[in-house]
Each structure stands twice: as structure tokens, then as C-alpha cells.
Structure 1
């Protein structure tokens, strides 16, 4: 029976140890509330860190914690040491990923030991759940601390559904590319089937980085990666709307609300709530409030900024400095602008309960939310839900994720103090009817797309996502079901193996010359050749000189230049058709013009063809320029036998009379072969698949439409298959 496994850095249960006694408390709000409905199901588990350092716990503590968490909370703990917490959490997660993803690259560290700890702890999370995973499980991983975990699970459990959600911004490619371990982080996340973000901007930035750094194309937010489809999509997180909109009758709430109202009297409150962090723009907010009072002195004595800052990482030096800066700014504003009867800013450096915050929400005329960069910012949604009279107004930064949903409110540039000041004035002076119309519309939206809807929406999409292309093509997946091919191969006494090279036997390289055969491949081909029942033919678009240099020492048959050249072992090369090169100079000139316009492009001249490689070009430039290249070439060759053929990041001009099917015809006409297999990865191999007999095995490598009746996921899969065949 399938189950759901949630994985996050922290469990939705806080475990404390005081006086050698353990206590357990459920977390409230955010992720814990959103996933509560799913987690309460009997077939759900939650994996995460308890919050306790491994060193302060005894073996009996571990046993008690594991037993209680599993029995009472359906949670599985991950134990972390003090060093791991320091380097994985405070180190790489919060000194590398956090600042870079929030556009504070000047604060980012690239410490190798922190990176090693990050990898180690992600592996520790995997080891904590690997024995719990069953084939049809659904796993939902959360946030930037666990970006490597999806791929770790995928490598060992290829059929499970894996979701990943990033709760912070994903930066632009120009920022993300500065991370030393950028490829590893992207590949880690791409182990997922569905990747969720708060806004479309974050999706767009992620897709751009994947395309530019890994070279993976995408269509309609679906990425092609390692023979799989990976979907990236927008799921803006909501709140528990009814909790904030509820009527509270307990005395604690009533006394708090009354105390706030009494302190305000005729003063209008501007409210700011954040945790201590440099991404929140708190100093800039204080300066903007001061600017507001300077520009509009008529509000002096009539408004007050209640600045609530929740303690966070205050032991870190940079956070200590931030707190000191905030305290100084508050003192300056109060000292210079305050009077005996009026204080401009009330500063609270403490945490409040949700009920206490709701009392503040319901007393505030204006909610001031101006982070320099924020993934979502749920505070603004909590404020709107709490104002059941619809009489409040929001001034929000355009760089907060929530701004993409709250376009009706006053949106400002968090660095423009004058604009924020004007926004505060506008919010204070807005007619009550106008506020109510806006808020009623927004609250309907927030109530509908609450945190539970967010979780259900993501889980529904993950559950119903088709990520395996084999389900769409109807082809036999030899990675999963190789038995029919292996049986036919085993009984065959005269076998023909037609093997493409680039993208089939080796992976693609940035420069074609770098894709030379490695030792493992040479040894594998030698084993196949040594079997007297096998005829091995390499059918490549490479020129014959290169193939001779790379494979001349093996007893393999070689077909070069897409079928133009043929060489049998211990014989010389021969052309399969007579051609001339009169066309090349004209075409080459056109290609040179476009190569100059497309930095990174290179021209490969072969005996009787020209290849235009654009693997190293800027993807957006390719999108705008490549069609010009193709249009120019097609118009020039309309009356010639020369035509354009597209491959993987390459277009090639060659004689259309020559193709791989034509080149291999000498072998395919031989009636003695009782097993024929052809493997290839791109459009040039389709000509060969097209002429194979019904009983032959045409194998497409990777995704894309094909005439082949079988498929494998990658060139690594080809190697695994050939290794199996070499054992017969």
C-alpha cells in the first residue's frame, strides 16, 4: 500500500530536553498546518531534524524520541551533531544558499567544508528514509536545506513520485551561476518529478539556469532530464485563513487587544512584523518611515510605527550588527522626532503568540511589508485575513513573493524611500469604502487558496503527473524490460549490432573533439568483437579519419559521415557514392557569417559535409538566430541535392542521397543475420530505423519522436545494455 513521506529540515514537532526530561510540542502555522490534513492520514510519515544536538542525547533519549515521535506523531527523526548543524545549516544553507538566493551575493560564502557537510547531511536524511521507501510511495521534500536529496532518492528508487518545494526565491541565472556547486544543486533538485515555487518569476529563473548550465531544454515548464520529464510550476502558498479570521473570546486575546487600543487612543498604527534578517529590509523601512514624517509633518503625533522583530540567529555576528543598526535607527527617530506625549516608533524585539499577533493585526491601520527580497511573506496574508472589518491597507514591496498575488494593494520599490513614504500616506488617506472593496475581493481569493488548498493542489499535480515518456510513446523501455531483447540475442548465432557514436556510446561534449572513446568503451567493444557470433558496426556522422584514429585498432566495421564512407576490418576505406564539394565554399561562407554573430558557434568541416555546432551558444541567442541560419541554408540549396539535417545542438549540410540507412544497406541485405539491433539518439538515426526489418530491434536513446520500437534513457543505459550483451 502506498504512503506519503514528507521531508523537511525540521519536524512539525518541537522536542526539548530540560533537566534530563524530554518534552514534545506540535508546531503551529506554515508548513505544519498546510500538511496536517495529509499527515493525519494513517499512511503518512514525516522525516526531519528534532532540533536537538546529538551530543546532548543519550542512547535512551534516542530510543524514547524515536518511539514517541513514530507512535504519537508519525515522525521519523534525523539526528544531527553540533558540527553538522554548524556547517550544514548555519554554514552552507544559510551562508551560501540563503544570501545568494536573496540577491546578497556580497554576503555569500563558498566554503568547501560547509559544502561537504551539506552533502553529508543530505545523505544522512536519505539514509534515514531509504528503508521506509516502497515503489509506489509519494515523497514531498521541502526547501533549500535538502536540494541534493531528490536525486539521491531517484538514483536508488527510480519509480517513486518525488516532489520538491522551494520556499525561498530562486535567483536569476546571473546570480545562481556564481555558486561553485551549481551543477550539483540543479541535478539534485531535478531528481524530482514536480518542482514547486511561489511565483512564476522563480520558475522562469530556475528554467533559465537549467537551460544555460545543464543544457536541458524545456517546453511548457517541462524539462527533459536524464530520459525523464520534470515539471516546474507555480504554487503560491496560502495561510490557514479561518484561524486568523476567527472570533477570539479568550481573556488573553481580549486583554491584549484592549491594551493595544488603549495605548493608541487616537493614534493610527502602522504595523511591521518580521524576524531578524538582512533580507527583510528593516533598516530601510525605518528610514522610509522617517522620510514619511519629514515629507508629511501633518502626521506627526497622529501615527505610530509598531516595529515587531522576532529574534533569529542573533548569535551570528552579522545578525548582531543588524540588530544594533535597527536599535540605533529607532533611537534616532524617537529622539529627534518624538515629543513628551508621542513616540514615533514602538520597537519590540521579541516573539509573540499567533493570538497576540492577531490582536496587533486587527488594531493596525496600515501593514508595512517591504522586504528587500522574500520568497512569499505570509505576514501580509495573515493581516488581511485578520481584518474581518476589511478596513486595513497594505504597503508591500514588489520583491516580496506575495506581491504577485496582491496587485490591488500599494506596491513599492523597497529601496525607494520616497515611494514608500508616499505609499504610507496613500494607505492612511484611502477612503474606507475603497479599502473594503479591495479587501473583500482579496480575502475571497485568500480564503479559497488557503494553505490546505496549496498542499492539495501540489499533491494532486504530483500524483497525476506523467514523468515517464515511455507511458506516452508506447515503446518498450529496455531499462525496465530488457528480457525480450536479451532472449533474442542469446539464441542468435549471427548477430548484427549497428551502433551510433555521439549521444549513444558516449555523452555529448562542448567541443566534438573532446568526445573521444574512453578506456571502458574500448574494452566493452573489444568484448563484443571477440564473440564470433557478433558483427559490430559503428555508424557515425563523424569523419572517417577520426573514426580510423579512434577505432582502427579494433575489429569493428566503420561507417562514417552518415553513410558516405565504409570500412571493414583489415581493409581500406571506400566511398558508397561519388560526390563533389563544389557547394561547400558558398555554404561555408554563410555559416561563417552566422558563427561570427553567434559567439560560441563553431563550424566542423568534414569530407563531404559541413556541421554547424551551437552547443556553447547562449540559448536565447540560439532561439532568435537559428531559424535565420536554417532559412538562409534552405533557400540556397532548394535546387541542389544538398540538404539540412538537424542533430543534437548541431545542423549539418550534406548530400541528401547519403544517410545511415543507405550506408548500412550492405549489412542489412545480408540474409544470414538472425539478430539485428540498431541504436541511435537523433534524427540522423531515423533513416536507419526506417529500413530495419520487423523482427529487428531499433532502439532510440533518450526522448523525442522515433520510428524505433524500443527505447533507453541515456548513453549510460546503452553501456549497461551492451555490458549485458557482452556476457552472452
Structure 2
């Protein structure tokens, strides 16, 4: 199986989960998300391979194929690797730095060492499975050294890199003690993609101020008008490629599921929904506080309004994530204690993952979607909600600091750092549903057209076409 893959995707995680049956039997089952759904056709057509960590420390299955014919090639990581590379450098150093210091990044030399070692290990696996002249597409902030290492090992490869989170301003990025190594790693690619032109400009400005690098052109969307030229003449194309969703992967909602769900909620007039990873960047606490103040002022009626919050567990061993969960759950309890009644909470809270089909029912049932991150590369939840409202129903309240706000500009935009801004946007959305239904529907239909036209396949095609043009 090794060495004959003309198209290789590399990501921190493989799209598989380990399931242990009651009798102790363990099986690896594919868990395709939007990314694998988008890339599967290309992977299948080109004898493709997905390289990544299987999600369990100290073990990895033999390479195997999914039902769709995609080869999954596991990278084995120890518990120490996971702690230093993933929990440490990736998520306690890079993540807060790239999200504009919402919490203070921590820079430990031993974490950097683990990050470098794991990137090298991934590179060795990729070098082994990639065919001569293969295309390699590296995904996200955990693997920013990988393009540079691969360029040295396998100069025959065509290498693309895509960053799924924001890229910070040069002034913030320069905090990083290992900034030069990260820049060199990224510039091993032939094409570097970001969600937004503003992210691409941040990177280009950083390169323009770095000795030995020359910047040509300006960042564009779904095209590569900008290049960074390294001291040895290597030209790296840079562009914005806004990611989107595969609406079909949401499946069909359960027959009668919306009516059933709303009945379980007490048949409220207005259902407000939040769906997020439980991450301190997502602004979950701020939306709860805004909702609480609207109830206190009687702008919203707890007898006719409910808020559903789905908070998917995330990085629970990291201190800031434990604090975020504690604050959110304290607010949920306080709001329900003040405004709820026995058997009738005003906030319905789930700290668990939901299957896509159930999530679709939640999206369809919600009158208003609340998406209030302090900073987000894109935010696909906003696009999933819009995709489920092709009839023009519903309203979207969206943080202006989510990447999706650039494309979904018909949403009710808010500043998540300002509770009054969230309150205004939420109240305007709720009142618009009843008071201005035609204008509200027009806004949703415009956003639905955008999401339908620029889907995840359009994203993958645009990036891979641009990567091929660098040859």
C-alpha cells in the first residue's frame, strides 16, 4: 500500500473512532466529517491516502480502507506526544495566540520540542506513502512545520497547506519564540490557503517584514494573485479559500421531528439555539448573560421563549476549558433557577455530541440561531443552520468576528464582547420573525443561496485547482 498514493491528505486526526463492544471487541469505524466528505471523491479517484493520528495514545491499527475506498494511514503517538504536541503547544500556545490572546498563551520549550518531533514523525509517514510527484494537502495549525520538512525530504512533491483557524496580525505572531521556524515550515508549501483575505494579508505582511523574503501581489479569494519568494527562489502562492459545508452530509430530519422536539420543549413561541464546541473562544457564556438580561428586563418572556445550548465536550484536560465549562453550567443553573419552573427550564443544556440527523432536527426547529464566537476561522455551524432553512424560515445572529460573517452578511451581526450588541441583535431577530416576516425570509434566502452555491466541494476544487497551477 505504501508509496503509490498520488494524492495524500495529512491532518492531526484520522476520520475514525475506536469503538469497544461490551464483550471487549474493538473496532475502528470511519467517522467522516465535512472534510473527508469533500475530499473522498478526490481521494478515491486518485488512489488517495489520509495520514493522521487515530485518536488513541500508544496504539494504531494497520492501514485500512474505508467503505468509500480511502486508505487510512495511522500515525502512532504516545501519551507524552499527545500532552506536549497537542494539549501543550498546539492548544495552549498556538490556539490562544491565533485567536487574538483571548487567554494568555503559554510557551514551554519542551512543548515546542514535542511539536517539532511529531511534525517530523508525520513527515516520515507521508514521505513513505506518497508516490513520485504526488500532491500532498496538509491541514491546520498542528502541522505547520510539515511542509518545510517534506520539502527537504521529498522535493518532488506538490505541497498545499490550509489553515482552518485565523492567522493573527504580525505584531501578535511575533510573540512566538519559534516564529522563524513556523514561517520556514509554512513556506515549504507551494500554496498556503486561509479562510479570509484578512488572514492572508496578515501572513503576507509578516513575510514582507521578514529578512530574506519578498512578497509579490495582493491576496485574493479563490485565486492566487499573491506570492512569497524565499531566499532560494522558491515561490509560494498565498490566497483565501473560504471553507463551507456539505449540506447532504446533514442527512434528512426525522419525520415529524421538529413538532416532537418543540412539544418536548413545551411548545414555546420562540426557540433560540446555540451549538458549539465547549471552547472559551465561542462566547457561550456571553450569549447566556445576554439572554439572562433580556429575561430580567422582560424584553423576552420566559413563558414563551426557550434557549437550547448544545456544548460538545472539548479538550477537557486543559485548565481554561474546565473553567469555561464551569462558568457556562453555573450560568445555566442560575438562569433556570430564576426564570424556569418545575419541569419547564428556560435553558435546555446538553454537554454531549449529537448525531448529524438529530442536529438537523435542532437546526430546523430553531427560530433563531445564536453564533457568538470572540474569534473564529469560519464557523460551519452558522452555515449548517442556514442550509437547513431553504424555505426562508429562521434568523441568524452572528458574531462579526466569525469568518462566516464575510459571506453571511445578511445575518444579524453583533459584537460578542458587548452584551448590549448581542441583546440588540437577538431582540431584532426575534421581533423580525413576527413583525417583518418577508424581510426576514429574504435575508435567510440570500444566505441560503450563498451556502448552496459555495459548498465544500467548491472549496476543495478551488484550492486543488490553484495548487495544480503552481506546477
TM-score, normalised with respect to structure 2: 0.91
CA distance in 1, matches of 2:182, 2:368: 40
Match for residue 187 of structure 1? 184
CA distance in 2, matches of 1:287, 1:93: 30
Q: 1:300 to 1:106 in 2, by over 3 A?
A: closer
Match for residue 6 of structure 1? 9
CA distance in 2, matches of 1:247, 1:141: 32
Contact 1:2 1:136 survives alignment (8 Å): no
Tell me the CA shift for residue 342 of structure 1: 5.1
Q: Deviations over 1:479-502 (max 9, x none)?
A: xxxxxxxxxxxxxxxxxxxxxxxx
Match for residue 134 of structure 2? 137
Across the two proteins, how many residue pairs are aligned to each other? 454
Q: Deviations over 1:603-643 (max 9, x none)?
A: xxxxxxxxxxxxxxxxxxxxxxxxxxxxxxxxxxxxxxxxx
Q: Does 1:460 align with 2:462?
A: no
Match for residue 80 of structure 1? 77
CA distance in 2, matches of 1:17, 1:214: 53
CA distance in 2, matches of 1:299, 1:20: 50
CA distance in 1, matches of 2:38, 2:463: 11
CA RMSD of aligned residues (A): 2.1
TM-score, normalised with respect to structure 1: 0.60
Q: 1:267 to 1:215 in 2, by over 3 A?
A: farther
Match for residue 50 of structure 1? 54
Tell me the CA shift for residue 386 of structure 1: 0.8
Match for residue 353 of structure 1 among 344, 352, 355: 355
Match for residue 396 of structure 2? 394
Alignment of 1:356-375 (within 5 A): 356-375=358-377
Q: 1:101 to 1:343 in 2, by over 3 A?
A: same
Match for residue 534 of structure 1? none
Q: Does 1:333 align with 2:335?
A: yes
Contact 2:89 2:111 survives alignment (8 Å): yes
Where does the alignment leave 5 or more consecutive residues of structure 2 unmatched?
218-225
Match for residue 28 of structure 1? 32
Match for residue 202 of structure 2? 205
Tell me the CA shift for residue 339 of structure 1: 4.4
Match for residue 405 of structure 2 among 403, 406, 419: 403
Structure 1 residue matching 2:466: 3-state secondary structure: helix
CA distance in 1, matches of 2:291, 2:364: 21
Structure 2 residue matching 1:103: 3-state secondary structure: coil
Q: 1:426 to 1:106 in 2, by over 3 A?
A: closer
Tell me the CA shift for residue 318 of structure 1: 2.5
Q: Does 1:37 align with 2:28?
A: no
CA distance in 2, matches of 1:386, 1:343: 26
Where does the alignment leave 5 or more consecutive residues of structure 1 unmatched?
467-728
CA distance in 2, matches of 1:53, 1:71: 26
Q: Does 1:227 align with 2:233?
A: yes
Q: Deviations over 1:581-619 (max 9, x none)?
A: xxxxxxxxxxxxxxxxxxxxxxxxxxxxxxxxxxxxxxx
Alignment of 1:239-254 (within 5 A): 239-244=245-250, 247-248=252-253, 253-254=254-255
Contact 1:390 1:439 survives alignment (8 Å): yes
Higher RCO (CA-CA < 8 Å; seq separation 6+): 2
Q: Deviations over 1:232-263 (max 9, x none)?
A: 1111111112344x644xxxx23643331212
Tell me the CA shift for residue 282 of structure 1: 1.1
Q: Does 1:124 align with 2:121?
A: yes
CA distance in 1, matches of 2:421, 2:68: 54
Tell me the CA shift for residue 341 of structure 1: 7.7
Contact 1:69 1:76 survives alignment (8 Å): no
Q: Does 1:315 align with 2:312?
A: no
Q: 1:214 to 1:273 in 2, by over 3 A?
A: farther
Q: Deviations over 1:65-103 (max 9, x none)?
A: 235679964121111111111111111111101111111
Contact 2:5 2:129 survives alignment (8 Å): no
Q: 1:76 to 1:266 in 2, by over 3 A?
A: closer
Tell me the CA shift for residue 320 of structure 1: 1.9
Contact 1:11 1:47 survives alignment (8 Å): yes
Structure 1 residue matching 2:353: 3-state secondary structure: coil
